[in-house]
Amino acid sequence: MKTSEPAKTHRRIVSKSGKRSLPRGKDTWKGTEMPHITAVRTVAIPVADQDRALEFYQRKLGFETLSDTPLPQLGGRWLVVGLPEGTTSVALLLSTAVGVDTGIRLATKDAAAAHAALTGQGVETSELISWPGVPPMFTFTDQDGNRLYLTQE
């Protein structure tokens, strides 16, 4: 009979001081060090109309265009937006499968002010939540109903 390996123990991913902590021992994937992965650069959001999406992400969220290249292989273009001081970008990919929970967490210095501003611009938002020990946050949807999260830093 085969016995299962004991679960790896991990320190907290984020310590109480807010600093990221790593698993005990080496960062590994099946026992092999993975030093070649250095960052999360671009995440993708499915959109039905790239022009409408570009307008939303620029005008409502303050993103700027980083790349806008025709890409007939995908039936549209390689359209990437990002924040002026950001290191992670968002690819707005043409798709028929829109209205998804992206799982993407964006950050703000003031969740209440951001909530009021987005709501004032007609963006569909959830209630602003503020629980003890958890930063204030809320969800909102883009022009295609894709859900994003906004969390106070």
For residue range 104-146, what is the model confidence (pLDDT) as tens digits?
A: 999 999 999 999 999 999 999 999 999 999 999 999 999 999 9
pLDDT of residue 3: 47
pLDDT in tens, 15-74: 455 555 555 555 555 556 657 888 889 999 999 999 999 999 999 999 999 999 998 887
Which helix or strand (DSSP H or E) is residue 4 part of? Answer: none
- The sheet that has 137-141: what strands, in order across it? 101-108, 147-152, 137-141
User: Do 101 and 84 meet the contact criterion of CB atoms below 8 Å apart?
Assistant: no
User: Do 140 and 120 meet the contact criterion of CB atoms below 8 Å apart?
Assistant: no
Residue 125 is classified by DSSP as B
Collapse the DSSP code of 100 into the 3-class scheme (helix H, G, I; strand E, B; otherwise coil) and give the result. Answer: coil
User: Do 91 and 44 meet the contact criterion of CB atoms below 8 Å apart?
Assistant: yes
Residue 9 has pLDDT above 80, yes or no: no
Determine the Cα–Cα distance for residues 80 and 93; give it in Å rounded to an integer.
Answer: 9
Nearest Cα to 144, choosing from 57, 43, 42, 41?
57
User: Do 141 and 147 meet the contact criterion of CB atoms below 8 Å apart?
Assistant: yes
Residue 140, strand partner residues: 125, 148
pTM of the model: 0.75
Residues in the chain: 153
Residue 28, strand partner residues: 33
| Confidence band, pLDDT 50/70/90 cuts, at residue 12 | very low
Nearest Cα to 114, choosing from 152, 64, 86?
152
